[in-house]
Copies of this chain bind each other. A is one copy, B any other.
Amino acid sequence: SVTLYGRLNISAESLHFSSTPTRSASRLNVLTSDASLWGMRGVEDLGGGLRAYFKLESGFQVDSGALTSTTQVFSRESYVGLGNGNWGSVQLGSQWAPGLWQSLRADPFQRFGPGGQPYLLQGARGYTLRYDNAIQYLTPTFAGLSGRAYYAAGEGQPTGRATALNVDFENGPVYAGAFYENTLTSAASVGLAGGGRASRTASFAGAYDFGVLRLSGQYQTNSTEGVPHAKGYLVGVAVPVGAGQIRASYLHRSAPNADASLMGAGYWYYLSKRTQLFVNVARLANDGTAAFRMGPAIAEQAALGPAGPGAGQDTTGFQVGVMHFF
């Protein structure tokens, strides 16, 4: 009645930070963990097509054994659901927000590594990864079409309340999706003082698998109260080569005097369905006041304090690692 599962992603990563007028070039060599997890999940058949199910998923760092979140043990998802193939499902708990599903399908790196989509498009003035205290309705899938409606209770706090919707279409080689999110983000996260600010994100993505390669793209726009619009896009390609895949993407994010771009390429080799080796390279270019960090070694860069990327500083990253599922 319960399945124990996990994913361990660990790599050696070398980051080079460019010189800027106020900082000299520097280098950081680290071991880093990327979205590693263990979890428990289960399904109970209640008869008449009804089923109860749950998921408890804990994110942690393989390189240090630490939890990814200092406040949440099941920081990835923690929910109970009741569902029916004809009427859909309702899930209660801490859950991925609708923006996640699109990022997984549009990003050829599936969010992993230094070139991953989250490092430029997710977070303040982009989509939100997860909300606590959320209620989600999932439609059944009909002719490849499915949708999600999402509400997070703010629980009397200035931020955290959200409504979101997404629609996905998947049929053979085609993927198309759209999502919309309306949330109260913290003023501090967009460089302002005060309480929550209304933040609206819309995004559209598509992909086509030609067999010899899979092309994908995403366009996202964000409007947050009190700050200028931010926009971003991604184009990606994945090419099957031998027992692996070449992956590459280009992302651009624009906001007044804070543009940034991220270019990544990598090779993923499948030792088995459960074990993969990978090598990735990426370059993140910050312009103006932009100071985006290249993942996944965000915590390691933060620990360096002022030696991490500053406004206008570029990062080049090289990564070699292993991913193992259990």
Q: Which A residues have a C-beta under 8 Å from some C-beta of B? A: 1-2, 4-6, 8, 10-12, 28-31, 38, 40, 42, 44, 46-47, 50, 52, 54, 56, 58, 60-67, 69, 71-80, 82, 92-94, 132-135, 153, 155-157, 271-272, 274-275, 300, 303-304, 307, 321-322, 324, 326
A157 to B, closest residue via Cβ: B303
A12 near B65 with CB under 8 A, answer no
Complex partner residue of A80 from B69, B94, B322, CB under 8 angstroms? B322
A interface SS class: strand
Complex CA gap A109/B60 in Å reads: 33
Complex partner residue of A326 from B2, B10, B82, CB under 8 angstroms? B2
Q: 5 nearest interchain CB pairs?
A: A65-B74, A65-B78, A31-B133, A64-B132, A65-B72
Q: A31-B153, A65-B132, A72-B65 are in contact. Are A44 and B78 (CB under 8 A)?
A: no
Number of copies: 3
A297 to B, closest residue via Cβ: B155
Complex CA gap A10/B266 in Å reads: 42
A43 to B, closest residue via Cβ: B326
A274 near B52 with CB under 8 A, answer yes
A94 to B, closest residue via Cβ: B65
B92 near A1 with CB under 8 A, answer no
Chain B nearest CB, measured from A163 CB (Å): 14
Chain B nearest CB, measured from A136 CB (Å): 11
Complex CA gap A13/B303 in Å reads: 40
Chain B nearest CB, measured from A41 CB (Å): 9
Q: 19 other contacts beyond A10-B80, A63-B94, A155-B300, with CB at 8 A cut-off? A: A2-B326, A6-B54, A8-B56, A12-B135, A12-B153, A28-B155, A30-B133, A31-B93, A42-B326, A44-B275, A52-B275, A60-B74, A60-B78, A62-B78, A62-B80, A64-B132, A65-B93, A67-B73, A155-B303
